[in-house]
Amino acid sequence: MKRKLLLAVTMCATVAALVAGCGDSGKTGGGNSVSKDDKIRRPLPPPEYADKTNPTPDAAEEGKKLFANHCVTCHGPNADGDSPTGKALTPPASNLTDAKLQDAVKDDYLYWHIAEGGKALGYNGMTPFKDTLKEDQIWQVIAYIRSIKK
């Protein structure tokens, strides 16, 4: 009985070490804050989203239209978070053009956050889009976001 417990504890510690290790070596994770005012912790996406890559990285034009229809209310017309609605939220809607943010996260993180909304990170501000946008539309929006990095 005691042995089993010890084994379980050892396994947990190993898993925790592995997860922490992944967080350090991957682009996302580690709670990367992208500016001094930025309180958002960005963990690695869960397994069902991890390592997804964009099948349509050149679809920025299509993505721009979708962004105008679904995202500007909060992220603003320039995607920089400059909108009264977005600023009123806690935390406020992110500046998606920010090179520091974009360099800190991989596409799998962006997909996860857009599909699940703020609840991916434990926030309420952003609505999930997995029932509003199709998978390829989410990728088009991500292509657009990647094209406006500043």
Residue 137 touches ligand HEC, criterion: CB under 6 A: no
Q: Report yes or no: 145 and 63 within 8 Å, Cβ to Cβ.
A: yes
What are 49's two structure tokens? Answer: 């989203």
Residue 33 touches ligand HEC, criterion: CB under 6 A: no
Minimum gap (Å) between residue 72 Cβ and ligand HEC: 8
Residue 133: enclosing H or E segment and its boundaries?
A: none
Residue 106 touches ligand HEC, criterion: CB under 6 A: no
Nearer residue to ligand HEC within complex by CB, 89 or 148: 89
Nearer residue to ligand HEC within complex by CB, 9 or 65: 65
> Which of 6-14, 23-31, 52-60, 68-76 is the region at the interface with ligand HEC (rule: CB under 6 A)?
68-76
Could you give the CA distance from residue 143 to residue 90 in angstroms, rounded to a whole number? Answer: 26
Could you give the CA distance from residue 138 to residue 143 in angstroms, rounded to a whole number? Answer: 9
- The residue from 54, 126, 139, 140 that contacts ligand HEC (CB under 6 A) is 126
The dihedral sign for the CA sequence 121, 123, 129, 131: positive
Nearer residue to ligand HEC within complex by CB, 3 or 95: 95
Could you give the CA distance from residue 95 to residue 74 in angstroms, rounded to a whole number? Answer: 10
CA 70 to the chain's CA centroid? 16
- The residue from 59, 60, 141, 143 that contacts ligand HEC (CB under 6 A) is 141
Peptide bond into 91 cis (omega under 30): yes
Binding stretches for ligand HEC (CB under 6 A) = 40, 42, 70-71, 73-75, 86, 89, 91, 93-94, 96, 101, 110, 113-114, 118, 121, 123, 125-127, 129, 141
